[in-house]
Amino acid sequence: MELLDGKFLAKAIKEELKEKIAGYKAQGWRAPHLCAILVGEDGASQTYVASKERDCKELGMDSTVLKFPAYISEDELLGEIEKVNINKNIDGLIVQMPVPEHISSLKVMNHIDPSKDVDGFHPMNVGMMFKGLDAFLPATPYGIMMMLERYKIETSGKHAVIIGRSDIVGKPMAALLMQNSNPGNCTVTVCHSRTKNLKELCLQADIIVAALGRPEFLKGDMVKEGAVVIDVGITRVDAENERGYVIKGDVAYDEVAPKSSYITPVPGGVGLMTRIGLLQNTLKAYEWHMKG
Ligand code: NAD
């Protein structure tokens, strides 16, 4: 079994990005600029946005966080997005989800300029991704594809089983793994909460992506010998430690790891690569904008 080490890989890719950005600045370009909009006081959202700010700083990118109270109206929020859309000094815009219930997340996503949509959630980017065209890819599947590529994992002709069909992980993961590309060229099965023969399907998989948000769901007896196992899950489970919780993935690691050829740990796997996905997209947006 070999570990797909997100910590090691993220560090290496960050060094490459840092060098690239320093090169652009040396030729007189301004720094790439990521803007995050945060609505309300959700603790997890604040933590995510803070880590994105830290990443930007580390790479020499500028970052701005616009914070609004949970009672901001939908129209006001769309107005704020519009201001960022037309700001020539900002390359990428993310609106941290979830937004309060009185605001339509769909309207929010649709309102972001597709050329600044570094989360890759705008329908234009989703459509382009499905067609295999150059687009911003949603950060988590993008991070996983980078991992498969860097570890030179053969995907062509393999059977990939994805557990979960969300818009941000399961569906785009399926789209990317089925593309005629490398990595890609998989035969893809997408499982979800209504799938009847999930264990049988998992046992046929050469590659399993577990993205359902149920701690330690994928057990050892659901995985065939030599499978590649990607654990996307992040769930806080109560524990008697200082923090009061531990983070669990969707894979029962101790049972599954001995059977797998490659496996991602949690933490230290997909989560860190997701952050790289966002940084790569921001750099891409910057290069587009600077080159006109
Ligand atoms: P979601 O809740 O939007 O979707 C979960 C999916 O799992 C649904 O499609 C549902 O049909 C399916 N599902 C639920 N129970 C199932 C079951 N018993 N059998 C088969 N399928 C089942 O979740 P999401 O946003 O895709 O996130 C999934 C997990 O990944 C969560 O733990 C989330 O925190 C984590 N996540 C991690 C990262 C990262 O960077 N590592 C990024 C995004 C999400």
Side chain identity at residue 21, one-letter code? I
Q: What is the pLDDT of residues 234-283, one digit of tens each?
A: 999 999 999 999 999 999 999 999 999 999 999 999 999 999 999 999 99
CB half-sphere exposure, 170, CA atoms < 13 A: 17
Give the Å distance between the CA of 172 and the centre of ligand 1: 13
| Mean pLDDT, residues 2-18 taken together | 98
Q: What's the topology of domain 28-113?
A: Rossmann fold (3.40.50)
Residue partners of 260: CB distance under 8 A and separation at least 6: 1, 223, 226, 227, 228, 229
Q: How confident is the model at residue 200 (pLDDT cuts 50, 70, 90)?
A: very high
- Spatial separation of the C-alpha atoms in residues 59 and 52, rounded to whole Å: 11
- Spatial separation of the C-alpha atoms in residues 278 and 32, rounded to whole Å: 13
Q: What's the topology of domain 139-271?
A: Rossmann fold (3.40.50)
| Mean pLDDT, residues 26-38 taken together | 98
CB of 10 sitting under 6 A from ligand 1: no
Whether 25 sits among the annotated catalytic residues: the reply is: no
- Spatial separation of the C-alpha atoms in residues 279 and 56, rounded to whole Å: 8
CB of 168 sitting under 6 A from ligand 1: yes
CB of 269 sitting under 6 A from ligand 1: no
Q: What is the pLDDT of residues 96-114, one digit of tens each?
A: 999 999 999 999 999 999 9
- Spatial separation of the C-alpha atoms in residues 143 and 146, rounded to whole Å: 5
SS3 109: helix
State the span(s) of the chain assigned CATH 3.40.50.720.
139-271
Q: How confident is the model at residue 292 (pLDDT cuts 50, 70, 90)?
A: confident
- Spatial separation of the C-alpha atoms in residues 260 and 258, rounded to whole Å: 6
Q: Which one of 52, 116, 158, 171 is the catalytic residue? A: 52
| Mean pLDDT, residues 212-234 taken together | 98
Q: What is the pLDDT of residues 39-80, one digit of tens each?
A: 999 998 999 999 999 999 999 999 999 999 999 999 999 999
Token match 């990607």: residue?
Answer: 230
Give the Å distance between the CA of 22 and the centre of ligand 1: 37
SS3 290: helix
Give the Å distance between the CA of 278 and the centre of ligand 1: 19
Beta strands in 157-249 (DSSP E): 159-163, 187-191, 207-210, 228-231, 235-238, 245-248
- Report the chain's mean pLDDT, rounded to a whole number: 97
Give the Å distance between the CA of 269 and the centre of ligand 1: 16
| Mean pLDDT, residues 5-14 taken together | 98
Whether 52 sits among the annotated catalytic residues: the reply is: yes
CB of 192 sitting under 6 A from ligand 1: yes
Whether 119 sits among the annotated catalytic residues: the reply is: yes
State the span(s) of the chain assigned CATH 3.40.50.10860.
28-113
> Do residues 93 and 35 make contact, with C-beta atoms less than 8 angstroms apart?
yes
